[in-house]
Amino acid sequence: MPDCTVVVITYNDARRLPRAVRSVLGQTLRDLEVIISDDASTDDTPRVAAELAASDPRVRYLRREHNSGGCGAPRNDGLDAAAAPYVMFLDSDDELPRHACKSLLAEIERTGAEFVSGQISRLYEWNGRLHPYYPSLFARRRVVGGIREEPALFLDSFSTNKLYDVRFLRETGVRFPEEIHYEDHVFAAGLYAHARRFAIVPWVVYHWHRERGGSSISLSIKDMENVRHRVIAARRSDDVLRRHGLAGLVPDRQYRFLRQDLRVYLNPLPRRDLVWAKEFAAVVRPYLEEIPAEVYERVDPMVKVCCRLIMDDRAEDLRLAAGCLTGPRAAPRAAVQLGGRTYWGTTVSPGLDITRLRLAELPFSAARLRHEVTELTRDGDRVRMTVHTYDPFGALPVGWEAFLRLGRRRVPIHPRPSGDGGYVTEVAFAPEGACEPRIGFTRLSDRLTTTDRLIVDPAMRPIELPGGTLAPEGHTACLRVRRPARRPALLGRVKRLLIRRIGTPATKLRAYKLLIKVVRPRPDLALFESDVGKGCTGSPRALYEELRRRGLPIEAVWSVARGKAPDGARRVRRGSWKYVWTLARAGWWVDSHGFPLDYPKPRGTRYLQTWHGQGIKSIGFDAPDLRTDFDGPRAQWRAAVARWDALVSPSAEFSRRFVPSNGYTGPVYRYGTPRCDALVRGELSDDPRRLLELPAGKKVLLYAPTYRDRAKGSGRSVRADLELMAEELAGDWVVILRTHPVERYRPPEHLLHFVRPAGTYPEINDLMLVSDALLTDYSSVMCDYAITGKPMLFLVDDWDEYRTTERGVYHDLPAIAPGPCVTTTEELIARLRDLDAGHAAHAGRYAAFRELWCADERGDASARIVTDFFVRSPA
Amino acid sequence: MNVVFACLDADTLGGIQQVTHTLAQGLAGRGHEVHVIGLHRSETPFRYVERPRYHRHLVSRAPVGPRGRLARRRDRRRVRDLLGGMRPGYAVLTSPSVVSRLAGLLPERLRAIGQYHGSYEHASGSWHLGSIRKHYPGLEQAVFLSEDDAWRFSEGALLPNAWALPNPLATWPDRVSSLTGPRVLGVGRLEGVKRFDRLISAFARSGAPPPWELHLIGDGAELDRLRAHAAREGVAERVVFRGRVPAGEMPGEYRAASLLAVSSEHEGLPVVLLEAAAHGVPAVAFDVSGGVRSARPVLVPPGDVDALAERLGRLIRSEHERRRLGAAARERAEAFRLDRVLDRWEALFTHLDR
């Protein structure tokens, strides 16, 4: 008896059947049987199947006499014929990854489950990419004691990504219905209704092949019959649950219908014609009307709006609303604001309430406008375009100017009032390379700009121009310019290839090492860098400004990854050949992190290391990246530190910790921190209130969490529940969210009325000066902030983990924190409401904290260090 | 059955190499044909097995390090020639770098088993996790040091083929420690990853009365920093830096000790923990990996120095408790005896043949 039976169903698919069968025969589990269950194909399938059976004794061929029209009957045939104790199902156009059978078999034997379900993944055949289906459902490997424990699993209603205990299926009589499509939805409902114990595994066990413009049943979504079947399957699935005493779970299954089944048709709806939309609405309407109101409150408000429009038979509006579901989620043409609530369209109804999206409260620079291209024609090498702009939330002020943005280019435009509250623009332009055209409005009162994409007719034919091809993109049909499909000239290709070959980091380093042997550093050239080229800020910037102020005869070059250098300085791109040259030529190096670690310092160059913060976190050889099992990074850092000629130390505490933990032995400047001079003097470098649109009358909370060493770039350092904070505090507070430079996080649109993302805001000092309080966890920003004397709060929910395994610390933060330490957002909200009392209660600690870290800050650090380093010391 | 082990460098002194030669000799003793391949020459070769019953091969005479394009191509050809002549069986690739270099070169009749000798926690903080996620699903089996690690890799690297096999104890001692010597033992290179600074602090705070001492066996770049640290903690005289001790003298060291402490930042399945247990020496360890947990020492939250001090202090004060835990440790260590581990390897081969 084989360990596992795999039933491969097929109908007129002789071309792909061998691929599917071979994916089973090539499994790491060898002891299995393949049953090809043929739904009476009329093509070459019998011959192909016979060949497969002849080639391997593990293959059996079953054939129905009459075509059943679906997948249910052949699957049932295969199930009845299965000889093994476990069974899997495979469609002839798909494949099993090679460990699928053995891994699921081992799991079902280990857990004693009734079935095991694994990750199903779409495989796009045109680029070979895998796209997993709802990976969060499968992320944890686990045993589930019945669907009641996790009703979210209704989203997994496939029959193919599972291995079943055959005896369980036979005893419970769970089978596939034979007269409808989406038989697996009903099958899955039966499965979930009966199963007491099933297992979930996180790895991919099924490759669901997708061809461009594929034609398998589940994809022919244009077919109205298909919609009908899906609704019937949904009803029958609900009935299965009710029959088995699980009526309480029906809303969860209906939620799945709204979130998944309906979206399959809603997403591409803007591309369908009106007749189709109307008929579609008629088909799904009766089922939607049965779904209780609370289920609609669980889904995306725009899905709810679409359902309302379906029920109200407003097909035209439905197509518009469906365009707000995907991609950039286009703004509506109109919205009504009444009694503090916002409604989609021009009528007020609870089903059209989109207040939760907070679109009407966005700050101007994030405001949503709708730009519909009503005409687009070719005119020689250019296009002429007419755009209708809608301002549904009344975001545009009285005075503005407008432009069309094409990549880096801006074309001024002159929108005229259209008479319906919107604007009409006529513009002609020639694209120059790939871009996503946007229309921008700049407010004259404060020069802030808001931009939004252009929406075109989804049926528009691409317009090919020498400078690029204009075409609609995505279901929403945003206008996009693609690169002209031209082959670059041979010379250009050779040049690019050479540059790529020669321009590797390794060759640059080799060239540099040669270079510093032959050229001498210039005593009148200084190279500045801060944040590894991420900005022109921090102590290097303060020192640079001081250098300029004094007019010292030293030319300054800034190393920047992206963006501009400060006025009066030349810019080199970090990592470029020019950068390599400047490193070799500069007689002065000033930075706050470390110039490329493998680059030895040229003889005669003087290197001032300013560092970029002080605080409780472990550092240098005590920090996790240098405590690994490899010796390489430690040796590299030792050599890098040996390059420093002087180090800025902000405090005695810094000298006590940082200096030995990096093995540094050279001179130390104890004059305070150049970066903090502006804080001591209270000098803003720009106008953050204007740039971040901080509303007058609201208090400003600066939220600056540090990164987590094991989750850089994950966004997981933002641990406060911003949703809850917005709900509770948005009336009085606005939050400036300053994430760490190595972190990546973008707040969702519906929080932008409350949160101002400022991760890339050029100068953090300005944010500190403009704020009323600081919220952080373990960031060094707390030491700088103490200079301001303003209240601080600490969200330390992962303190023990951070202290022991994540990073390691030198101080017991909860014991020395100059403000309340909290572990939940609820507690945080309570403390913010009672900010002054908490601040007053921590006055003693605040003073001690300042004494420890900020005693040397007098506002003249830049001046004294420039004197000592650039003027007194010989270059 | 034919079993081929491939190491980046098969003859340098190190954990992976020791395990590989022990297993190779053991499997050869059970009648398998065994080969050990080193991809690079060792600069300081070490002889693990006096009379090997397995075949040994060297691919390149250059030591581990960056290689030119031509040299890499030559290496690949040599590997292909070498493996091409082998009989059907299994190829055990002992680390992520060996997997990424050899996986594409194996003939079909040699089925690839990829090992990883670190913990999931360590992999997730380095390039290893990405490499494992990319290359290991393509192997027949991915083998980790403990059930716990195998589970975590199946979730974190989405591996369908994760399996657990512990490291073996090369020998089984007849004599055990008397547990009366006033000595706490720490064994390992004096490098940041071992965090002996935390062990020294914990020893200082444990309240251990004289003549109790902490003996650290091993050498490395951190010696001076650790000495200074011991002085700061006020235990300079009671922390003894013993330097490197030859393998043959280690049983004596275990017998002279009453406690072992493992304070590392990262560990896979530390052999010292198993060897100490085999000598009946109880251990206190930071709970840093599935491997450490599988040896069942007294566990302390990772990095929690005060908790480590407290547990050390309690065991230092109670000989009775040391005896109880020491006997349990030796019993537990039975599971890591070479014969038991070889049984598990053969069970893995059976699973592969299903």
Q: How far apart, in whole angstroms, are the C-alpha atoms of residue A701 and residue A777?
A: 14
Query: Using CB atoms, which residue from A29, A204, A631 is nearest to B354?
Result: A29
For the stretch A262-288, pLDDT in tens is 999 999 898 888 888 999 999 999 999
Largest CA distance in chain A: 98
Residue in B with minimal Cα distance to A663: B225
* pLDDT level of residue A875 (50, 70, 90 thresholds): very low
| Mean pLDDT value across residues A770-783 | 95
Residue B91 pairs in a beta bridge with B4, B112
Min CA distance, B174 vs chain A (Å)? 33
Residues from chain B contacting residue A118 (CB–CB below 8 Å): 160
d(CA A163, CA A674): 65
d(Cα B298, Cα B314) in Å, to the nearest integer? 11
Nearest residue to B141 via CA among B117, B123, B159: B159
CB contact under 8 A, A626 and B301: no
- Any idea which of A482-496, A572-586, A595-609 has the lowest mean pLDDT? A482-496
Is B159 within 8 Å of A203 when comparing Cβ atoms?
yes
Mean pLDDT to the nearest integer, A358-371:
94
pLDDT in tens, A387-416: 999 999 999 999 999 999 998 999 999 999
Specify the DSSP element, H or E, that contains A276.
helix A274-290
The fraction of chain A above a pLDDT of 90, given in percent, is 79
- Verify whether the Cβ–Cβ distance A804 to B160 is below 8 Å: no
Phi, psi of B177 (to 5 degrees): -70, 145
ipTM of the complex, rounded to two decimals: 0.89
- The chain B residues in contact with chain A (CB within 8 A) are 118, 121-122, 124-126, 137, 140, 151, 154-155, 158-161, 191-193, 195, 221, 225, 265-266, 288, 301-304, 351-354
Average pLDDT over residues A230-253: 94
- In this structure, chain A runs to a length of 875
Contacts of B151 in chain A (CB under 8 A): 141
In this prediction, residues B165-178 reach a mean pLDDT of: 91
Nearest CA in chain B to A807: B303
Residue A29 sits at the chain B interface (C-beta within 8 Å): yes
Which residues from A are below 8 Å from B351, CB to CB? 106
Taking contacts as CB-CB distances below 8 angstroms, the residues of chain A near B192 are 621-622, 626-628, 634
pLDDT in tens, A798-828: 998 888 778 888 899 999 999 999 999 999 9
Contacts of A629 in chain B (CB under 8 A): 118, 122, 126, 193, 266
Partner-chain residue, chosen from A204, A628, A634, that has the shortest CB–CB distance to B158? A204
**What confidence score (pLDDT) does residue B68 get?**
77
Identify whether the C-beta of residue A776 lies closer than 8 Å to the C-beta of residue A782.
yes
DSSP string, A74-136: HHHHHHHH--SSEEEEEETT-B--TTHHHHHHHHHHHH--SEEEEEEEEEETTTTEEEESSHH
Nearest residue, CB atoms, B192 vs list A30, A140, A634:
A634
Name the pairing type of β-strands A416-417 and A409-413: unpaired
Instruction: Note the pLDDT tens digit of each residue in A374-384.
Output: 999 999 889 99
User: Does the beta-carbon distance from B160 to A99 stay under 8 Å?
Assistant: yes
Higher pLDDT pick, A836 / B63? A836
Query: Is A690 within 8 Å of chain B by CB?
Result: no
In chain A, which residues have their Cβ closer than 8 Å to the Cβ of B304?
804
Are residues B161 and A103, on separate chains, in Cβ contact within 8 Å?
yes
Handedness of CA B291, B293, B296, B299 (dihedral sign): positive
Residues of B in contact with A30 (CB under 8 A): 353-354
How confident is the model over A501-520, as a mean pLDDT?
Answer: 90
Residues of B in contact with A622 (CB under 8 A): 192
Q: Is the CB of A634 less than 8 angstroms away from the CB of B191?
A: yes
Q: Is A202 on the interface with B (CB under 8 A)?
A: yes
Residue B213: count of CB within 10 angstroms of its CB: 17
Compute the distance between CA of residue A11 and CA of residue A37 in angstroms, rounded to an integer: 9
Mind listing the pLDDT tens digit for each residue in A453-490? 999 998 889 999 888 899 998 888 999 999 876 666 78
- pLDDT band of A220, cuts 50, 70, 90: very low
H or E segment at B55?
A: strand B55-58
What CA–CA distance (Å, rounded) separates A389 from A421?
9
Q: How far is A85 from chain B (nearest CA, A)?
A: 15
A142 touches chain B (CB under 8 A): no
A628 and B266 within 8 Å at the Cβ level: the answer is yes
pLDDT tens for each residue of A687-697: 999 999 999 99
- Tell me whether residues A710 and B125 touch, CB distance under 8 A: yes
Strand partners, A386: A375, A426
Q: What Å distances lie between residue B254 and A640, A771, B182, CA to CA?
A: 40, 60, 12
User: Out of A100, A139, A808, whose CB is closest to B303?
Assistant: A808
pLDDT at residue A222 greater than cutoff 60: no
Query: What residues does A724 pair with on adjacent strands?
Result: none
Report yes or no: A103 at the B interface, CB cutoff 8 Å: yes
Does residue B212 carry a pLDDT above 50? yes
Q: Tell me how far CA of residue A466 lies from CA of A44, A478, A481, A510, in angstroms.
A: 47, 21, 11, 42
Taking only residues 514 to 553 of chain A, the set having a beta carbon closer than 8 angstroms to any beta carbon of chain B reads none
Reference A466, options A377, A375, A376, A382; nearest CA is A382
- A371: nearest Cα among A456, A432, A469: A456
Q: Do A631 and B221 touch (CB under 8 A)?
A: yes
Token duo for residue A382: 């250019």
Q: Do B265 and A627 touch (CB under 8 A)?
A: yes
Instruction: Report the C-alpha gap between B179 and A226 in whole angstroms.
Output: 77
Q: Which of B109, B148, B189, B193 to mutate to test the interface with A (most CBs of A within 10 A)?
A: B193
Residue A537 φ/ψ, nearest 5 degrees: -145, -170
Q: Structure pTM?
A: 0.86
pLDDT over 60 (residue A219): no
The answer to whether residue A712 neighbours chain B at the CB level (below 8 Å) is no
What pLDDT score was predicted for residue B46?
84
Contacts of A100 in chain B (CB under 8 A): 160
pLDDT at A795 exceeding the cut of 60: yes
Ramachandran angles phi, psi of B55, nearest 5°: -90, 145
pLDDT tens-digit readout, B110-163 = 999 999 999 998 898 788 999 999 999 999 999 999 999 999 999 999 999 999
* Chain B interface includes A483 (CB < 8 A): no
Whole-number Cα distances in Å, B182 to A465, B240, B325: 86, 13, 17
Tell me: the pLDDT tens digits for A438-448?
999 999 999 99
How far A201 CA sits from the closest chain B CA (Å)?
8
* pLDDT for residue A211: 83
Distance from C-alpha of A92 to C-alpha of A45, rounded to nearest angstrom: 11
Q: In order of start, what are the domains of chain B with their CATH numbers?
A: 2-168+337-353 (3.40.50.2000), 183-336 (3.40.50.2000)
Distance of residue A646 Cα from the nearest chain B Cα, in angstroms: 23
Q: Do A141 and B151 touch (CB under 8 A)?
A: yes
Q: Say yes or no to pLDDT of A38 above 50.
A: yes
CB atoms A709 and B302 under 8 Å: no
* Cα–Cα dist B66/A506, whole Å: 12
Mean pLDDT of A574-603: 93
Q: CA torsion angle for B265, B267, B271, B275 (degrees, to 10)? A: 50
Give rounded-to-5 percent helix, strand, coil for chain A: 40, 25, 40
Q: Measure in Å the smallest separation between the Cα of A629 and chain B Cα atoms.
A: 6
A147, A209 contact by CB (below 8 A): no
Nearest neighbour of B155 by CB, restricted to A140, A622, A628: A140
Question: Which is nearest to B291 in space by CA: B193, B172, B176, B150?
Answer: B150
Confidence category of residue B187, pLDDT binned at 50, 70, 90: very high
Which residues on B lie below 8 Å from A628 (Cβ)? 122, 125-126, 192-193, 265-266
Mutate to test the interface with A, among B129, B141, B161 (most CBs of A within 10 A): B161
Smallest CA–CA distance, residue A798 to chain B, in Å, is: 14
pLDDT score, position A455: 94
Q: Which of A122-126, A560-564, A710-714, A834-838 has the lowest mean pLDDT?
A: A710-714
Residue A717 confidence (pLDDT): 93
Mean pLDDT of all residues in chain B? 91
Query: B354–A624: do the CB atoms touch at under 8 Å?
Result: no
Of the candidates A119, A71, A124, A115, which has an alpha carbon nearest to the alpha carbon of residue A97? A119
Contacts with A99 from chain B: Cβ below 8 Å: 137, 160-161
- B199 — pLDDT class (breaks 50, 70, 90): very high
Which residues of B fall within a CB distance of 8 Å from A202?
154-155, 158
- Dihedral, CA of residue A581, residue A584, residue A590 and residue A591, to nearest 10: 60
Alpha-carbon gap, residue B317 to B312, rounded angstroms: 9
CB pair distance less than 8 Å for B301 and A621: no
Could you count the other beta carbons within 10 Å of the beta carbon of residue A321? 28
Q: How far apart are CA A80 and CA A82, in angstroms?
A: 6
